[in-house]
Amino acid sequence: MIRLATPGDAGALRAHAMELFRTSEHGVVQPDEAAPLERFREKLEAGEHAKGWAIFVAVPTDDPSVIVGDVGLYPESKRKIAHNATLGIGLVPAWQGVGLGRTLMEITIGWARTHAALRRIELQVFATNGRAIALYESLGFVREGLHPARVIEPDGRAIDEIRMGLDVSG
């Protein structure tokens, strides 16, 4: 089941994020850099969905207390660029490759199209993440730029990030 996150999801959402920080090879946040639980709760309690801020969560029907995937939209706070929202997505490994990411993205894009305040969705993706790039392009995202060596892994490897965008104003 996919739904908008609620304040009651704060603990499960943070646990999901921590699992992703520990297991994802395509993330930039390290576990010790994670926001505290209160920050998750505050954002969810703020009720900023009307401003284009949203987190959608995927929960299995047999255990709705566990989050297995999420997509967040985070609009810019400055008025001149507030029509842009940054997108972040994360799925636990067991739920990757089964279409959940596409479904989460389609729901999120559809939701964004209903919010007049939003005109664009932007994201950054590791240049090495071919599956994600193919998904984003199939949904209409276009490559808009390259950040060379944006990420430096603990082993010293440099990874480029691709900046992508999607017009949701139409």
Does 2-121 carry CATH code 3.40.630.30? yes
For residue 31, pLDDT beyond 90: no
Q: Give the pTM.
A: 0.90
Work out the number of other CB atoms within 10 angstroms of the CB of residue 94: 9
Question: Which one-letter amino acid corresponds to residue 108?
Answer: T
For residue 52, pLDDT beyond 60: yes
Distant-in-sequence, close-in-space partners of 34: CB < 8 Å, separation ≥ 6: 14, 17, 18, 21
> What's the pLDDT tens digit per position in 67-125?
999 999 999 989 999 999 999 999 999 999 999 999 999 999 999 999 888 999 999 99
User: Are the beta carbons of 83 and 118 closer than 8 angstroms?
Assistant: yes
Greater model confidence, 19 or 30: 19
- What is the pairing mode between strands 2-4 and 54-58? antiparallel
Task: Give the pLDDT confidence score for residue 133 in this predicted structure.
Answer: 98
Task: Give the pLDDT confidence score for residue 41 in this predicted structure.
Answer: 79
For residue 50, pLDDT beyond 60: no
Eight-class DSSP state of 34: P
Q: What six digits make up the tokens of 169?
A: 């104003």
> What's the pLDDT tens digit per position in 12-24?
988 898 888 888 8
Looking from the CA of 5 toward its CB, the CA atoms found within 13 Å total 32
For residue 42, pLDDT beyond 90: no
Task: Give the pLDDT confidence score for residue 47 in this predicted structure.
Answer: 66
Work out the number of other CB atoms within 10 angstroms of the CB of residue 169: 10
Looking at the chain, the whole-number percentage of residues with pLDDT higher than 90 is 64
Eight-class DSSP state of 117: T
- Among residues 35, 14, 122, 18, the alpha carbon closest in space to that of 74 is found at 122
Q: Locate the domains of the chain by residue range.
A: 2-121
User: Are the beta carbons of 83 and 74 closer than 8 angstroms?
Assistant: no
| Sequential DSSP letters for 14-27 | HHHHHHHHHH-SS-
